[in-house]
Amino acid sequence: MKKLFTLLATIALLFSACCNTQKTTDTMSSLKQSDIDAAIKAIWAKNSQINPDLVERGVKCVAKLWTAEDGSAEEFIAFCEANYQCTEAERHQLFQTIQRNVEAIYGRYNQISIDLKMPLHVVGDAPYTAIDELFGAIDPFAHFSDDMFASKIAFVVVLNFPSYTLNEKNELGKTWTRTEWAYARLGDLFGARIPGEANQQFADCSTTADNYISNYNIMMGRLRNDAGEQLFADNMALITHWGLRDELKSNYANADGRGFEKQRMIYQIMTRIIDQSIPACVISNADYTWNPYSNEVKDLQGNVVDNTREADVRYQMLYNIYKSAVAMDKYCPAYPTYLQRAFDQQMEVTDKEIEEMFVKFISSPEVAQVAELIKARLGRELEPFDIWYDGFKSRSAISEDELSAKTRSLYPNPAALKADLPNIMQRLGFTAEKANEVCAKIEVDPSLGAGHAWGAMATYDVSRLRTRIAANGMDYKGYNIAVHEFGHNVEQTITVYDVDNYMMCGVPSTAFTEALAFVFQKRDLELLGYKNTNPQATALQSLDIFWGSYEIMGVSLVDIYTWRWLYENPDATMAQLKETIIRNAQEIWNKYYAPVLGHENSTILAVYSHMIDSPLYLPNYPYGHIVESQLEYQFRDKVVGEEVCRIYPIGRLTPNLWMQYAVGQSVSVEPLLNEVAEAIKVLNN
């Protein structure tokens, strides 16, 4: 499950873009080059020893954001002259003041967001109401940019701390000091002037989509096959897509002989969610039984009832987010599309680089070789849902009922989980002192949704771990998610409290927090006390990461191709968007998945809920898996906890520079492909 906030990076995506471009928007005034030259000259006259490149860069950044409402050309020149810090001591003092106040604002705004959304995310004494949704949609950050520009604070920032392009950061950043990096990160904050109304509209659409997904459950005990049989337990409610996927995975180790049948039924449900043929009345509703194959719906007395399908609500949610994102484009001169803001700005890697990396991976010869291993292990032909094959994990040989019995005993309530968090960290090699220090800054809440981690944004706040905890305790699915989210929380805490400058807090992108969450999650059985004595454990771990990456890379490509299509077809309707998503899923499946899994035209790659409520977040997962594989190689002969404490305080460098510090090489699929090639040899011997 995704991490809700990646500290400063998420905020920067909303209202920032790099100033290093000659493009302007219709919101900017038409200052002349002579005005810019005059401002530079006025600053230079104050101190001829200052760096001319920095002066020029800063003045140009201000000029691109200055509107007629901000003042005349003369006022622009006077502002630049009066507010440029001509000595390094003055500049650093200004940085410290701004940094302190940014933390104060972000921290409080984040706390307000948490409080407003609490009824939407956390199990309470009563279900949330319509007014809770309205409060939850309020974005405290929405008018931050407006306020900062109106007060001219934003202009002071970009004048003295201009931003740099991604290429410049990757090159110049190799020799920057930590302070210079912090200056550059401060410069990332104000490169665009997105009005508060546009930010709020985007937040409204995102919150509505998030609520839709968080409350989209399939009542598994009400499902019936063609023989009228019930395959799943009473009261089992699974959120789409995560709960359905995890239940499907768990049935690779099913002991009742009906695991394959259950998997096929889940797959059928997913296809109906994707094409929106699912009856509206069975969504989050236990008043009916439903046969996903025939699509027949009956009331609890056995009478056939109307099975009118859901009215494409799923795709309307994404369409609304798209429209609100496009409304921001004209205010972002350097990153004028949501695609660019998601990749170049937030992930700090281009969508084309991501696409090339993913395509190279999913078209590698190792895919077919691993698929043959899976086929042999299953003893049958492969199905589309085998993209979630779980047999490379140790837990696949352990009954989920057994695991759930243990987790319910250990964690009957949130307080029990909270109390055990320091022990979990110590089992991963953190010292008792560090474990207690970190866990004191983490709270545990029972989640309405599948689960998430919400990080602190100030050194006086705590991170939140949310996972599903039923009245009879936390089942294994909830525990598995909790361990993943705990990995996020540990990162969130270390990268706020242990980083030397607040502006460097966080990680290069969400892929790097996902990587640590994956590192935690894959050790969930070890944390429960199950020892892995398998001599093939390392090889199996590599195969597991590989197959998980293969699956999510295809999903990510659907997401990317869909957004590219949207920008190529700006007048597209919601119905056309739905058709395009399904077509993209089928085409990617046919090209990269059908050759090894069969079943042409499967739409399964379009099932991911992130595509609906968090567009273009998905690429962070496979990118995170790539980072994870490189970290795991680094951890092999070292203590995980010690390495995490060494690596993660480095904060927000660019991805490649962060990785070079962490493991000595840039982000690459080659190490994982090489590991898998060796793993295949181990399993075939």
> For residues 463 and 442, what is the distance between their CA atoms, to the nearest angstrom?
5
Q: What is the pLDDT of residues 265-320, one digit of tens each?
A: 999 999 999 999 999 999 999 999 999 999 999 999 999 999 999 999 999 999 99
* pLDDT at residue 22, rounded to an integer: 35
Give the pLDDT confidence of 532-541 residue by residue, as tens digits: 777 888 899 8
Whether the predicted model's global pTM rises above the 0.85 cut: no
Residue with more model confidence, 101 or 26: 101
Predicted pLDDT of residue 192: 82
User: Which residue type, as a one-letter code, is found at position 89?
Assistant: A
At 393, is the pLDDT very low, low, confident or very high (cuts 50, 70, 90)? Answer: confident
C-alpha closest to that of 61 among 150, 190, 186, 195: 190
Confidence grade of residue 394 (pLDDT, cut at 50, 70, 90) = low
Whether 254 has a pLDDT exceeding 50, the answer reads yes
Return the SS3 of 473: strand
Nearest-angstrom CA–CA distance, 244 and 238: 6
CA dist list (Å): 469 to 406, 410, 412, 448, 478: 14, 12, 8, 9, 7
Mean pLDDT of 155-167: 93
Q: What is the mean pLDDT of the chain?
A: 92
Backbone φ and ψ for 364, nearest 5 degrees, come out as -70, 150
| Distance separating alpha carbons of residues 127 and 274, to the nearest angstrom | 28
> CB of 196 within 8 A of CB of 140?
no
Give residue 395's pLDDT.
58
Of 468 and 47, which is predicted with more confidence? 468
What pLDDT was estimated at residue 29? 56
Share of the chain above pLDDT 70, in %: 95
Q: Which of 120-124, 331-335, 603-607 has the lowest mean pLDDT?
A: 331-335
Residue 635 pLDDT exceeds 50: yes
- In eight-state DSSP terms, residue 349 is S
Q: Is it the case that residue 12 has pLDDT exceeding 60?
A: no
**Span 384-392, mean pLDDT?**
95
In this structure, are residues 240 and 216 in contact, taking their beta carbons and an 8 Å threshold?
A: yes
User: What DSSP designation does 444 have?
Assistant: E
Binned at pLDDT 50, 70 and 90, residue 4 comes out as very low
Non-local (6+) Cβ contacts of 595 within 8 A are 368
Helices vs strands, H then E, count in the chain: 31, 8
Look at residue 503 in the predicted model and tell me its pLDDT. 97
Tell whether the model's pLDDT for residue 23 goes beyond 80: no
Q: Could you tell me the two tokens for 15?
A: 């209202």
- What are the tens digits of pLDDT across the range 489-508? 999 999 999 999 999 999 99
Q: Write out the H or E segment, with its range, that includes residue 562.
A: helix 537-568
Whether 387 has a pLDDT exceeding 70, the answer reads yes
Structure confidence by residue, pLDDT tens digits, 56-105: 999 999 998 999 999 999 999 999 999 999 999 999 999 999 999 999 99
Angle at 635 between CA 630 and CA 638, to 5 degrees: 155
Model confidence at 449, in pLDDT bands (50, 70, 90)?
confident
Confidence of residue 159 (pLDDT cuts 50, 70, 90): very high
Residues above pLDDT 90, as percent of the chain: 79
Q: What's the half-sphere exposure (Cβ side, CA atoms, 13 Å) at 101?
A: 11
Question: What does the domain layout of the chain look like in residue ranges?
Answer: 7-194, 213-314, 335-392+532-684
Token pair listed for 172? 């110049």
Bridge partners, 394 (sequence order): none
Residue-level pLDDT at 397:
66
Q: Which tens digits make up the pLDDT trace of 34-59?
A: 999 999 999 999 887 888 899 999 99
Rounded to whole angstroms, the Cα distance separating 187 from 52 reads 17
Phi–psi pair at 238, nearest 5 degrees: -115, 130
Q: Is the pLDDT of residue 568 over 80?
A: yes
